[in-house]
Amino acid sequence: MAVSVSFALALIFSRLGPGDVRRVGVIMRPWNFVAIILGMFIFLNIFQASGASQLIAELAPSKVMLCVVVGFLLSMATGRVQLPASVVIPIYLTTYGQESMTPLIFTFIFVSMLLGYDASPVHPCVSVSLEYFKVPMKDFLRIFAPPTFLTLAVVLVTASILI
C-alpha cells in the first residue's frame, strides 16, 4: 500500500506522462533488483535448510568466539541480523545459562552482527545500491572493509578483556 501511494504521489508531483514512466522503467531495469532479492531469499533458505546452525551449536565455541566472531560471520554470510540472532542467542543461552546474558554481552553480540550485516555483500541495501550506482563490489569492500574490521577488532579485544 505504501509503495503504491508513494508511486502515485511521485507521478502526480513529477508530472511525468505515461511514455516518460515507461522510459524511466526501462532505464532502471527493475528486473535486476527483483533477481537480487530473489537470490537473497534463495540463499537464506538454503542456509536455514543446511543445518549450519546445529553444526555451530555442536562446536560450542568460547563466549568471545560465539558472541563476536560467529555473530559477525553469520551476519556477513546471510546479510541479516534476525537469522544470526536466532542462532547465536539460543546457543549462548543453552550453553552458558540465561543469567549469564548480561547487557554487555548482548551488546557485543549485537554490534558484531550489525557490523557483519552492514558489510555483507548479500545485504539487500548493499547489493541493490551497488547495482543501481554501478559500483564494483571490490570498490565497496576496499572502502568498507578497513573500518569494519578495525571496529570488529576493537569489539573482539574489548570482549576478550571483559567477558
Give residue limits of the domains in the chain: 47-162
More confident: 130 or 39: 130
Cell numbers for 72: 559477525
Between CA 81 and CA 143 the distance in angstroms is 22
Task: Compute the half-sphere exposure of residue 90: CA atoms within 13 Å on the CB side of its CA.
Answer: 10
> What average pLDDT is seen over the chain?
84
Region 44-57: mean pLDDT is 70
Least confident of 42-51, 84-93, 102-111, 153-162: 42-51
Checking if the pLDDT of 48 tops 80, the result is no
Between CA 39 and CA 27 the distance in angstroms is 22
pLDDT grade for 36, boundaries at 50, 70 and 90: low
Residue in 67, 42, 43, 41 with CA at minimum distance from that of residue 56: 67
Cα–Cα distances (Å) from 68 to 11, 16, 45, 61, in that order, read 46, 49, 24, 11
Q: What is the pLDDT of residue 69?
A: 92
